Amino acid sequence: MEVIKSIKIAKWVETLILISVFINSYIFFRSPFEGYFHYLIFLFFIPLFALKYGYPKYLVKLFSWFIAVGMVFVFSGKYPLFDFIKVFGGMFLSFTFYHYVIRYYQFNISQLFSVYLKWSYVAAIIGVIQLISYKIGFVYGYNYRWIFNKWGVNEGGIFGIRINSVFSEPSGLAAALAPAVFVAVYNLVHKKSFVISKHASIIIIITYIISSSSTAYIGLLLIFILVSMSIKFRYLIVGLIVGGIFFVSFYRISDDFKFRVDSSVALWVHQNYSIQNTNTSSFVLYNNVHVAMESFKEYPLFGTGLGSYKAAYQKHSLTKNVEIVAYDFEFNSTDGNSLFVRMLVELGLVGVGLFFLLIIRGFIYLRVEEEFAEYKIISQAILILILLNLMRQGNYFLNGFPLFILIYYYNWKQYREALKEKEKSIVNE
């Protein structure tokens, strides 16, 4: 592909940008909303960027739609105004800031993605250090509560501790590092060194595995399928077999993963609401899917507005029905534990449809010419992150999710432009 000249970026600016993506395990306060450190970064940079670049029209249109739908339901008494403001404010700050980040990098998606990969490698190294520290009993090396206040030690997993590195929990690591793991697997399978070395690729994969996160294992299965299909279509079978072997292996050696699989089968197949099944993350997802489907039946087209999920949960949660579930506990009552679930409630069929249209159109499929390979790698790597968030992460803007959505879109747009330029050059020859 055409080599885009690297943009000179101030290191302190780049550091703050990447902190907003990787460090979400420290908050200043929990009420009336969680005050993350990255909000300070947003508030510092957005006015400066706005003076330099102006405000993008497409975000005005997007936010106008959010306001219109939200206000209809807020003023009809469906949910509190503050719930809308809280979520809309986070969405506004995040998308605005990360749009400006793309502008600041002069739309050099390749350079921005490369910086993300290098930071992912550092996070992976910290993950390995965390495991080694746990095994030798060095508390400060594996328990980072002395640095982060929204962070915890997660015991269990394959090695006695579920690794989460700088992230608040293993599932957060699983989603945030997914694109880097895709690149790592791609490098090893294709014997490449795309941005990161073979050594770095191995470290990243090791950290992903020792996270003992079911989300990470699902991510690995998806990655093996995509990477194997990119060689030849018949290798899809190989990818499925390898992914299946990993899945069965993790099921056998990780009690936590086995417990989640077993409880999921009990819930989804047998509707078994016994305590061992309803006191797990499997039930959290099961319950929130139930909430989403019930709310969707009432408001299928546009949903009920940003921030309304909590109201839907309070109305439809199975935990409110003591005849079904005798244990009154609430987990992920505001975010659905799944972005797809939350979007179905808050944005309806229109919002979900538009989001999936973006995913489908922006996906660069299996075979492209070698000069365009980088576009494909970036597209497929970020697709894994998007899919994992849709399945098991209900926050619209955690760990820089809007940045990855924008990278995904602009990567596709630049790929289409590059194809057109090549076609023109061929015609002119």
According to the model, what pLDDT value does residue 331 have?
Answer: 65
| Nearest residue to 37 (alpha-carbon basis) of 213, 208, 215, 166 | 166
According to the model, what pLDDT value does residue 265 have?
Answer: 62
According to the model, what pLDDT value does residue 1 have?
Answer: 44
Across the 429 residues of the chain, what is the mean pLDDT of every consecutive 10-residue run?
68 94 91 88 95 91 93 92 94 96 95 96 97 95 93 86 93 94 93 91 96 88 80 58 66 65 59 53 78 92 93 84 56 81 94 94 79 90 95 88 96 91 72
Number of domains in the chain: 1
According to the model, what pLDDT value does residue 2 have?
Answer: 46
* In a domain? residue 25: yes
Please enumerate in sequence order all residues whose Cβ is within 8 A of that of 171, keeping only pairs 6 or more positions apart, or say none: 213, 214, 215, 216, 392, 393
| Whole-prediction pTM | 0.88
Q: Which domain holds residue 33?
A: 11-253+363-428
According to the model, what pLDDT value does residue 173 have?
Answer: 95
* Chain centroid, CA 309 distance in Å: 19
